[in-house]
Chains A and B, each alone.
Chain A
Amino acid sequence: MKIIFDRDKCKLHAQCRGAAPELFSFAPNGTLVILDENPPEELREALQDAVDACPEQAISIGD
């Protein structure tokens, strides 16, 4: 499983962070950081929540 993240779309709403804190974080300059680009299968539900939560549709799942 792979996180596909479109940085140009990201407006830092931080919804992904609330949905999946295991996968998304913020750098000190405020930009989004992906903690694990190839997360284990047990985090699929968490990643799907983050995909659903993003108002900009900046995140998708690549298998």
Chain B
Amino acid sequence: MENKCPAKFHNVDFCAPATHDNPYEMYDHFLEHEPLYFDEKNGVWEVFRYDDIVTIERDTETFINGEGARPNIPPDPGMIYQDGEQHSKQRALVSSGFTPRQMRKMEDRAREIVTELVDIMLHKDEVDIVEDLAAALPMRLIADMLGIPEEKRASVQQWINQIMIGGCGPDYVTDEVNDAFENFCMHHEEMYQDRISAGCKGSDLLTIWINAELNGEKLDESQLLFEHVLLNVGGAETTRSAIAGGLERLSEDPKQYHALYEDSSLIPNAVEEIIRWVCPFVNMYRTATRDYEMHGKVIKEGQMVGLTYPAANRDPRKYKDPHTFNIFRDFSKEAKHLSFGLGPHFCLGASLARLEVRLSLEEMTARVKSLRIPEGKELEYVSSSFTRGLKKFPAILEAR
């Protein structure tokens, strides 16, 4: 008889970064045999199946964000930790900077950046797709949106990388993480004061947020700070993972890469497949407001449940050959991926992320014939239980 519970999937610590290195064999195990799993070490539940995540994300009375979105990390005043009406109000204020209308206005600037980055890469013998394109594009775009001075940009990126490491859990909040957060707070305060003394007349995102008003309510100073953090955390590293991860898949699959060059109208669907396949966020957590039964087990009131998005994106109940990267995948017949979540907390930056991945693919396929990893070099990945992705992607580009 088949052993349904291999020992290697006992006592899994879902907060440990290494747990999510090459995790798909483990996710497959849980998808099939233990769709609701209690992580003893962290005292939290985990779900994996597509429909279970949808059920939980939709039931916003039973599963809330107000108690935190990651185990043992207290909520802050940012919108991600709000529920119900407060969340709606706050999100309405923050989203004033993120509508598709604003994103369309961003497209020209984003294309300019991508074109320049690809120009530079084509002049190099060897590039790092992560540093030279995937990280640089979102970082520059966000810095432009916020109006961050050129000389501060590298430091901001470093602080954000540290803050992301802290997102794995309290065991990972080191002195470096705390220092980075403190530095980011000072940087925010400086930017905030600059805008106040300039009379809040600019068109940068921070000014839009300072000025945003709904029924007489505005974002207060602490909310501004945490939305600012969230923009960087949510926008920079995740998009970087999607662009780099997508190009890595395509570099391994010249046929699909060539198909995008032949017919660029395939690119928007390829963007969705990349975001499904890479799924930069490992999970988000919700807290049960009442005892809730699922798969014959009970999530007790006050307990947290983790929504393992990359597992759901490979749920064979929804996707045909879920582990196959297929730019032709028919999402309308299968299911929309859950990489951006769904429901009230659906990723605010989704249209920005899609725009950045699309422009990267358009520019790369149009100008680069092929990309390959140089001999003796290897891909390197970020190990994390929060957001995963490539850290280094050395490549040799062949121009068209």
Residues of A with Cβ closer than 8 Å to B? 11-15, 17-21, 25-30, 33, 45-46, 49, 53, 55
Contacts and interface: CB of A to CB of B under 8 A. Distances in A.
A28 B64 CA distance: 11
A49 B336 contact: no
Contacts of A29: 60-61, 84
Nearest to A33: B88
B60 A19 contact: no
Nearest to B54: A11
Given A27-B85, A28-B84, A30-B59, A12 B99 contact: no
A17 B350 CA distance: 12
Given A28-B85, A30-B58, A30-B60, A13 B99 contact: no
Contacts of B346: 13-15, 17-18
B-side binding surface: helix, strand, loop or mixed? helix
Give 5 nearest A-B pairs by CB, closest first: A28-B84, A30-B60, A14-B346, A21-B95, A49-B100
B233 interface: no
Contact of A30 (B91, B99, B343, B350): B343
Interface string B365-378: 00000000000000
Contacts of B59: 30
Nearest to A32: B344
Given A18-B346, A30-B61, 8 more contacts: A14-B346, A17-B95, A27-B85, A28-B84, A28-B85, A30-B58, A46-B101, A49-B100
B100 A53 contact: yes
Contacts of B98: 18
A4 B247 CA distance: 41
A29 B348 CA distance: 20
A19 B342 CA distance: 14
Residue from A11, A15, A17, A26 having most chain B Cβ neighbours under 10 A: A26
B344 A26 contact: yes
